[in-house]
């Protein structure tokens, strides 16, 4: 059974999905990722929300709840590389492509980030353009800028 619940942190509304004891989705807004879910708050969803709340308060840099993102082998390599970016730091799409084993796949890294099922925890907001520009983000560039500023402030 899949469960989901919605929480608002600062000015950001997130939906969180749990399945089989893992967080399998964190998404922006309403309803985009909660198909086939029972709307019910579970202990794991509460824990994830508490840790996300601590993140938004600047008190948490690493998450401890179990995650299980679903994706292709390449997407998982990208998400592993993105997850290794330290709090308050950034990497370029090219740097992530190199780390994921395909130096010519910067655009594919962008597409993998676009499909990131567990935003913030898999911190795709830390991936920027080669010239330092903030580029596409599922929550909007204003949210990406906000998250990066939050991390830099609390580093």
Q: Which residues are catalytic?
A: 124
Q: Name residue 154's beta-bridge partners.
A: none
Q: Find where tokens 């997850």 sit.
A: 83
Residues contacting residue 98 through CB under 8 Å, at least 6 positions apart: none
Contact 76, 109 (CB under 8 A): no
Neighbours of 24 (CB within 10 A): 21
Tell me the chain's radius of gyration from C-alpha atoms. Answer: 15
Contact 93, 112 (CB under 8 A): no
Structure tokens of 71? 């994706």
């Amino acid at each position: 059974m899949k469960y989901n619940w919605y929480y608002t942190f600062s000015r950001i509304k997130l939906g969180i999905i749990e399945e089989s004891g893992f967080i399998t989705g964190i998404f922006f807004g309403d309803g985009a990722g909660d198909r086939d879910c029972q709307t019910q708050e579970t202990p794991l969803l509460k824990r994830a929300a508490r840790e996300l709340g601590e993140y938004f308060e600047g008190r948490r840099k690493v998450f401890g709840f179990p995650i299980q993102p679903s994706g292709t082998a390449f997407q998982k390599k990208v998400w592993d590389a993105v997850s290794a970016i330290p709090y308050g730091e950034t990497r370029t799409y090219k740097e992530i492509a190199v780390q994921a084993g395909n130096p010519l796949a910067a655009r594919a890294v962008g597409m993998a980030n676009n499909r990131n099922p567990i935003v913030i925890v898999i911190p795709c907001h830390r991936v920027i353009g080669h010239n330092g520009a903030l580029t596409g983000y599922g929550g909007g560039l204003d949210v990406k800028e906000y998250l990066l500023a939050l991390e830099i402030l609390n580093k």
